[in-house]
Amino acid sequence: MSKMKQLMLASTLAVAALSAGTASAADGKALYTAKMCQTCHGAEGKAPIMPVYPKLAGQNKEYLFAQMKDIKSGARSNGMSAAMKAMTANVSDAELEAIADYLSKVQ
């Protein structure tokens, strides 16, 4: 492979890697589904499958984001957060923020 092709390939991969970690607010709804949030919290975060799971729809964006980050990092830990910690392990902060933004706008 020529030097020029190697450089172009490396540049393309670098740009792809950088953009893979970012998410926009418009992605929040898709991420909510893709990350399986509805499995426990219900469609649009309105109808959790168990009474002890929180309703997320309409909550404050900053509050939701902070709670998800704290669960992911282990700063918030209770009997119910272990499963959530595992679910958020491979979710970036940008994705968590996009999900929080989406949920904050659900009525």
Question: How many Å apart are CA 16 and CA 58, to the nearest integer?
Answer: 33
CATH among 3.40.630.30, 1.10.760.10, 3.40.50.1980, 2.40.50.140 for 25-105:
1.10.760.10
Domain positions in the chain: 25-105
Query: Mean pLDDT across the stretch 29-38?
Result: 96
What is the per-residue pLDDT across 36-65, written as a single tens digit (0 to 9) for each? 999 999 999 999 999 999 999 999 999 999
- Paired tokens of 15: 């740009």
- pTM, rounded to two decimals: 0.75
Which of 10-24, 44-58, 73-87 has the least mean pLDDT?
A: 10-24
What pLDDT shows up at residue 2? 61
Residues with Cβ within 8 Å of 70's Cβ and at least 6 positions away in sequence, in order, are 76
Residues with Cβ within 8 Å of 6's Cβ and at least 6 positions away in sequence, in order, are none
- Paired tokens of 73: 């990092």
